[in-house]
Structure 1
Amino acid sequence: MRRGRAGDDHSDQRDFNALFEEHYNAVYRYARRRVGPDQADDVASEAFVVAWQRRDRLPPGHELPWLYACARRIGLAHLRLERRQGSIAASLGRETDTTHHDDTDRVLDRDRALATLARLTEIERELVMLVTWEGLDCRQAAKVVGCTHVTARGRLHRARRKLTAYMKADAPEPARVRVPKEVSWTT
């Protein structure tokens, strides 16, 4: 993000508005996939509040990975809060609805893919999603999760191998057509 002269609030605001316009939708989609549609706007908005507060420390040219990392931490905090509230409600004998409905429910293999992703560690899952869904390269994804590029590359490689193995193991066998013995084929 370009910065104006010290004290040039109008320039800072204009630059930040451009940053917001450029990246808000991507950060919102990122948050929606992680916390659901009910909280995605809050998480994305909070990430931009933090970005505004720390605008002098945003890495020029790498704002989107920084925003993803910020949204990830905020999203995790939202999920922890939701779990705590669910635990409190359960202890009081109440039920809470923590089910998130999103547009991807229409995909037929969604449940199987999500179940397979859930078998990965949190860091592996996050790396796969950052590279596959968010379109980051391995270096940018490493910055988001807070590890070195080499470590991220190794974890991503192992995660992909695990996913392939899990998908093969869970794949339904093709249906076999059995012809009863009494059926005779004549011409």
Structure 2
Amino acid sequence: MSPPPHAHFEQVYADHYAEVLRFVTRRAHPLNVDDVVSETFIAAWQRRDALPMPALPWLYRTARNVMLNSARGSGRRQALTMRIATHAPGTQTDDVEALERQLDLRAAFGTLSAADQEVLALHVWEDLDARSAAAAIGCSRATYSMRLTRARRRLAALLRETPAPVPASPLTLGTTP
């Protein structure tokens, strides 16, 4: 005899709540995070008899759809908002070059399309394999892999385009017109 569907849901909830919360926190406005996570698990409860295994990609996809529906309904300017982690660059806080690289990466990442940001985030932040990431965004593994490759190339190109600081000319330092 199989366990009742609510027991399966309770296990999915216990196993994946923190991951779904982290996923949504990185993408949604802070005031909307709790609502999105709640709606995601309400959808899971409603499908408790037929939750796919593994459940995490389905939960990510559901959370993503909740955010997209919310964005369409409220007229936000972006369908999906992603934020780059705001933690300090580690023990090298006084390392100006490391800070500049981090700022360049944040700026370049912010100029990517929402689709490029999404595939990179699923790969880097969520550490999903190609099959699970593809399931989370609703495409084939091959399509996801191609999108990831293209997003990496666009990010690398943006980082190469970042202009280097122009040094001050020694003739203009300390001189008055």
Interval containing the TM-score (normalised by the shorter chain): 0.7 to 0.9
* Larger Rg computed on CA atoms: 1
1:26 matched to 2:26? The reply is no
> Structure 1 residues 164 and 54 mapped into 2: Cα distance closer, same or farther (>3 Å)?
same
Could you give the per-residue CA deviations for residues 97-120 of structure 1, whole angstroms, max 9, x where no partner exists?
xxx9x8944556776545423433
Spell out, residue by residue over 1:59-80, the C-alpha distance to the aligned partner (whole angstroms, 9 max, x if none). 22x2001000000000111222
Q: Distance in 2 between matches of 1:78 and 1:59?
A: 24
Q: What is the alpha-carbon distance in structure 2 between the residues aligned to residue 21 and residue 110 of structure 1? A: 35
1:166 is aligned with what amino acid? L
Instruction: Write the distance in 2 (CA, Å) between the matches of 1:113 and 1:17.
Output: 39
More helix by share: 1
Q: Deviations over 1:90-138 (max 9, x none)?
A: xxxxxxxxxx9x8944556776545423433333221111111111111
Unaligned runs of 5+ in 2: 89-98, 172-177
For normalisation by structure 2, the TM-score amounts to 0.74
Gap regions ≥5 residues in structure 1: 5-10, 87-99, 181-187
Q: Does the residue aligned with 1:68 lie in a helix, a strand or coil?
A: helix
TM-score for the superposition, normalised by structure 1: 0.70
Map 1:64-83 → 2, pairs under 5 A: 64-83=56-75
Give the aligned length. Answer: 155
Counterpart code for 1:51 = A
Q: What is the percent sequence identity of the aligned residues?
A: 37
Greater relative contact order, per chain length (Cα 8 Å cut-off, separation 6+): 2
State the superposition RMSD in angstroms: 2.8
Aligned residue in 2 for 1:37:
30
- Residue 176 of structure 1, CA deviation: 4.5
Residue number among 157, 161, 165 corresponding to 1:165 in the alignment:
157
Q: Which stretch has the larger CA shift, 21-30 or 75-84? A: 75-84
User: Does structure 1 retain, via aligned residues, the 8 Å contact 2:5–2:49?
Assistant: no
